[in-house]
C-alpha cells in the first residue's frame, strides 16, 4: 500500500469516528440534565402532602359567611314602620342605601332568603309598598316606596337579625313642578290641531284667557285683538259688522263655528261667554271652505260639553 492510500484511509476513518462521537456527547449531556436532582423549592411545590393555598373566593367566603334570612316581619309604629329581618344564626352586614324616585332601596351583601319573596301593599300611613327580594351574587334587596317622597330609615343590626326603622319622607314643595310650556295651535288653516309655526299662512288665535281679561261682551270686541280686522257695532238684532283686510260687513259669509260654515255667525254667537277661542285666518280660503270672502275667515271654537252642569254669573254695574 502506498503512502498516499494509507493517508486517505486514515482521514476517512477519523471523519467517521468524529461524526459519531458528537451525537453521543450531546445525548449524554441531555441525560445529565434530565437526571439532575430537583431543587428544594420544586420538591415542596410538587409534594402532595403540603396543602394548596386557598383561592380568593374561598378566603372571602371564610371571612364573610353567607347569612340566611328566615323571616320578614312588619310592625307599624307611631313614627312609621319597622322592617324586621330575622336570621337563623349570624349577624347581617351593614347594608347600603340609595334613593330611586319615591323609593328607598336597601341592599344587603352575603345574605340569602330561605323562603319566598316578601311583598305588602300599604303597610303604614304614607308607605305604599314594601318588597324584600333575592338578588344574584348572594344579595338581598329591600324596596320601600313612599306616597309623595322616598322614606328614610335608621338601621340596626344584632345577632338576631336586622331592623329598619322607617319614617315617611317629606315632599319638597315645587320639586316635581315641570316648567310651563305653551304651544298655540289652530284648526282653521289645516282642519287639524297643528302648531301655528308649522302652518304657512297668516293665522291669529285669540285664547279664552284674553277674552276673560278683556271682559268682552260681544264678538266684535273679541275680534278687535286681531290685526287687519275692523269691527262695527250694530243693533242687537243685526250683530257686529266684521271687515277682514277690507272685505266683509254685517252679513259676512266667512264665519265658521267649530270648523263648520255658519252664515249667521255674528248673530247666533254674539255673546262670547261659551267661546273657548277665536281663530282668524287671513287671506283667501275658498279651497278649504267654499264661498267665503277673500279677506279672511273667522272660526269660533265653543267650549266642550261637561259631564256635570256648570254655572257662572257675572254682572257689570255702571257705564
Average pLDDT rounded to a whole number, residues 125-145: 89
CATH 2.60.40.3470 in the chain, residue ranges: 60-167
Average pLDDT rounded to a whole number, residues 200-215: 83
**What is the grid cell recorded at 137?**
351574587
**What is the grid cell recorded at 248?**
266683509
Gap between the Cα atoms of 297 and 168, Å rounded: 58
Highest mean pLDDT, choosing among 39-43, 110-114, 216-220: 110-114
* Cα angle for residues 107, 112, 114 (degrees, 5° grid): 135
**Residues near 302 by Cβ (< 8 Å), separated by ≥ 6?**
257, 258, 269, 274, 275, 276
Residues 157-176 have pLDDT tens digits of 777 788 889 998 887 655 45
**Residues near 299 by Cβ (< 8 Å), separated by ≥ 6?**
186, 187, 188, 256, 257, 258, 259, 278, 279, 280, 281
CATH 2.170.130.10 in the chain, residue ranges: 186-302
Q: How confident is the model at residue 144 (pLDDT cuts 50, 70, 90)?
A: very high
Average pLDDT rounded to a whole number, residues 54-76: 70
DSSP-based helix, strand, coil % in the chain, nearest 5: 25, 35, 45
Q: Are 119 and 131 in contact (CB under 8 A)?
A: yes
Mean pLDDT of the chain: 73
* Cα angle for residues 105, 106, 112 (degrees, 5° grid): 125
pLDDT the model gives residue 197: 66
| 252 DSSP 8-state letter | -
Q: Are 144 and 166 in contact (CB under 8 A)?
A: yes
Q: Could you give the C-alpha distances from 147 to 40, 126, 133, in angstroms and in order?
A: 71, 5, 21
Does the pTM surpass 0.95? The reply is no
**What is the grid cell recorded at 84?**
324586621
Which one is predicted more confidently, 36 or 158?
158
pLDDT the model gives residue 195: 65
Residue 61 in this model has a pLDDT that exceeds 50: no
Tell me the CATH number for domain 60-167: 2.60.40.3470
pLDDT the model gives residue 41: 46
pLDDT the model gives residue 107: 92
Residue 178 in this model has a pLDDT that exceeds 70: no
Which one is predicted more confidently, 64 or 181?
64
* Cα angle for residues 245, 297, 253 (degrees, 5° grid): 95
Highest mean pLDDT, choosing among 52-56, 190-194, 271-275: 271-275
Q: How confident is the model at residue 298 (pLDDT cuts 50, 70, 90)?
A: confident
Gap between the Cα atoms of 78 and 107, Å rounded: 25
pLDDT the model gives residue 27: 47
Could you name the CATH architecture of 186-302?
Beta Complex (2.170)
Amino acid at each position: 500500500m502506498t503512502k498516499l492510500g494509507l493517508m486517505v484511509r486514515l482521514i476517512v476513518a477519523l471523519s467517521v469516528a468524529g461524526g459519531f462521537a458528537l451525537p453521543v456527547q450531546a445525548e449524554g449531556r441531555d441525560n445529565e440534565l434530565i437526571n439532575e436532582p430537583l431543587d428544594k423549592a420544586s420538591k415542596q411545590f410538587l409534594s402532595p402532602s403540603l396543602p394548596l393555598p386557598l383561592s380568593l373566593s374561598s378566603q372571602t367566603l371564610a371571612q364573610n359567611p353567607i347569612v340566611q334570612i328566615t323571616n320578614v316581619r312588619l310592625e307599624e309604629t307611631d313614627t312609621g314602620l319597622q322592617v324586621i329581618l330575622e336570621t337563623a344564626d349570624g349577624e347581617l352586614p351593614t347594608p347600603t342605601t340609595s334613593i330611586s324616585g319615591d323609593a328607598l332601596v336597601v341592599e344587603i351583601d352575603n345574605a340569602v332568603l330561605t323562603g319566598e319573596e316578601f311583598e305588602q301593599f300599604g303597610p303604614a300611613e304614607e308607605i305604599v309598598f314594601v318588597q324584600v327580594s333575592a338578588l344574584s351574587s348572594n344579595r338581598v334587596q329591600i324596596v320601600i316606596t313612599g306616597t309623595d317622597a322616598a322614606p328614610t330609615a335608621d338601621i340596626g343590626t344584632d345577632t338576631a337579625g336586622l331592623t329598619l326603622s322607617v319614617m315617611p319622607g317629606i315632599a319638597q314643595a315645587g320639586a316635581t313642578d315641570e316648567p310651563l310650556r305653551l304651544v298655540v295651535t289652530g284648526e282653521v288653516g289645516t282642519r287639524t290641531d297643528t302648531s301655528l309655526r308649522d302652518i304657512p299662512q297668516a293665522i291669529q288665535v285669540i285664547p279664552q284667557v284674553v277674552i276673560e281679561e278683556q271682559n268682552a261682551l260681544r264678538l266684535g270686541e273679541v275680534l278687535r285683538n286681531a290685526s287687519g280686522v275692523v269691527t262695527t257695532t250694530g243693533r242687537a238684532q243685526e250683530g257686529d259688522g266684521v271687515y277682514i283686510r277690507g272685505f266683509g260687513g254685517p252679513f259676512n259669509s266667512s264665519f265658521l263655528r267649530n270648523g263648520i260654515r255658519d252664515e249667521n255667525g255674528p248673530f247666533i254667537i254674539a255673546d262670547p261667554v261659551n267661546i273657548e277661542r277665536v281663530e282668524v285666518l287671513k287671506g283667501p280660503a275658498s279651497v278649504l271652505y267654499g264661498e267665503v270672502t277673500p279677506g279672511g275667515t273667522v272660526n269660533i271654537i265653543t267650549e266642550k260639553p261637561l259631564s256635570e252642569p256648570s254655572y257662572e254669573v257675572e254682572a257689570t254695574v255702571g257705564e
